[in-house]
A and B are shown apart, each in its own frame.
Chain A
Amino acid sequence: DAGVIQSPRHEVTEMGQEVTLRCKPISGHNSLFWYRQTMMRGLELLIYFNNNVPIDDSGMPEDRFSAKMPNASFSTLKIQPSEPRDSAVYFCASSRQAPASEAFFGQGTRLTVV
């Protein structure tokens, strides 16, 4: 298995532009997580899907952020419009829906909004 695949690895965009981050979870995993990591705030959970359904989006910072999971093999995180304070590394992770199952992380997308 190739693991969790995220694209792009790096994204530089201008303030106000729309940004879409993509994630392909590990086949057979039915839980998917989007995280944001910054020096100031550390690792933050943005949203959590189970069987393609959003379970908890309380970590989504604002209405500018939205996430979808149209099927079991694909998820997107969209920021519209983007702002400089959105600059961070965004991670996608997937796991089986079981308490003993570990999560597997993608390599992350480093987003810079200028």
Chain B
Amino acid sequence: AQSVAQPEDQVNVAEGNPLTVKCTYSVSGNPYLFWYVQYPNRGLQFLLKYITGDNLVKGSYGFEAEFNKSQTSFHLKKPSALVSDSALYFCAVRDIGSNYQLIWGAGTKLIIKP
């Protein structure tokens, strides 16, 4: 069965420092990977996705993610964190074997301190 793991419930970063939010996955076949962000009292917003091609994917708000096939990881990164990046971040993978459902990680709360 396909699955996604976000090993950290919370990540704390000082403003201006680089940030990383971790995601590992387990799939059969080629992975289709996604990152979403949820601000308080809002729906989830799409940030970026990996389908094929370059391992470094760039997305919204200056975020990027690095796909690593050997480590089955898709970590979200940003070179310089902003206080406004504080939010809940979800990693997801398409379950090709189950009618293309999205399988979600549990979410990681990112806190950026001034």
Once the chains bind, are B49 and A99 in contact (CB under 8 Å)? no
A to B contact number (C-beta, < 8 Å): 49
Once the chains bind, are A98 and B100 in contact (CB under 8 Å)? yes
Docked Cα-Cα span, A113 to B100, in Å, equals: 33
Specify the chain B residue showing the minimal Cβ separation from A102.
Answer: B46
Once the chains bind, are A91 and B99 in contact (CB under 8 Å)? no
A25 within 8 A of B: no
Segment among B18-26, B76-84, B102-110 that sits at the interface with chain A: B102-110
Least CB distance from B50 to A in Å reads 10
Once the chains bind, are A107 and B101 in contact (CB under 8 Å)? no
Contacts of A31 in B (CB 8 A): 100
Most A CB within 10 A of own CB, among B45, B98, B102: B102
A103 within 8 A of B: yes
Contacts of A56 in B (CB 8 A): 98-99, 101
Docked Cα-Cα span, A28 to B34, in Å, equals: 21
> What is the 8 Å Cβ interface bit string for chain B, positions 31-48, against chain A (1 contact, 0 not)?
010101000001111100
Contacts of B106 in A (CB 8 A): 42
Once the chains bind, are A103 and B46 in contact (CB under 8 Å)? yes
Contact of B100 among A42, A99, A104, A106 (CB under 8 A): A99
B14 within 8 A of A: no
Residues of B within 8 A of A (CB): 32, 34, 36, 42-46, 49, 51, 90, 94, 96, 98-102, 104, 106-107
Q: Could you give 10 example pairs across A and B, Cβ below 8 Å?
A: A4-B43, A42-B104, A42-B106, A43-B44, A43-B107, A45-B104, A91-B44, A102-B34, A105-B44, A107-B43
